[in-house]
Structure 1
C-alpha cells in the first residue's frame, strides 16, 4: 500500500485537470492506498470556494471534494498565500483582515507550503494535476 499526496493546481471548471485529480484520488483510495492530504495550490485554490455554483447538469466539484474528505478522513489543504491572492479566504483570515464574509469553510483548511513539503517527506508518491 502506497501513501499519496495529491496536488491540485487547476481551477474547478476551466479545465478538466481538477476533475481528473478527483477521479484519480477516488481510484487511488478504492485500490486501498492512503492519501495523506490533498493540497490545493495556484489556481487549484478556486476548488475550495464555497460560492462555486455549477449548472445543475454538472458535477459540483467543491461538494465532491468535501464528500471524499469526509468519507476517507483526508485533509483538504489550501496554500494560504495562493488562496489569499485569489480572494479565497477562511473565517479566520476574514476576521484577521477585517472582512465580514468569507468563502472557504471546513473541511478545507489553510496552511503554508511547509505542509506540502512535510507531506511529501512522508509520502511515497506525489501526483500533481
Structure 2
C-alpha cells in the first residue's frame, strides 16, 4: 500500500494504491489526504466493499513506514497480514515503485490529484 501525491499541499487529494504481490491485482483510489484517518477510512471502506473475499484477494499488504499507515495493522487486524518495509529500502516494494512510474506517465508531479478524473484513475488501475 502506498500513496501518490500530486501537489504538496495538505488540502489536495492523494492516490491510494494497493497491489497484491502475487496476482498483481491492484486498486487505485482517490482519498481526501495523506493523513492516517483518510487511509484508515479508505481501508475500512474497501473491506466493506469487497466483503468476505478481502482476505482472499489481499493475502497480505506491504506498506512503507509512513505515518499515514501507522493505523493499518489495527485496521486490518484479523483480516489480512500487514508488513512494513525497512526505511530507505525501495527494492522491498518493487511492484509499487513500478506502478508509481506508470502513474507518473499519466499524472505529472505537481498536478493536483483533485483535478484527475475518475475515468483516468480507472484507466490507471486497469
Question: Which band: TM-score by shorter chain?
Answer: 0.3 to 0.5
State TM-score, norm by structure 2.
0.36
Of the two structures, which has the highest relative contact order with CA contacts closer than 8 Å and spacing of 6 or more? 1
State TM-score, norm by structure 1.
0.35
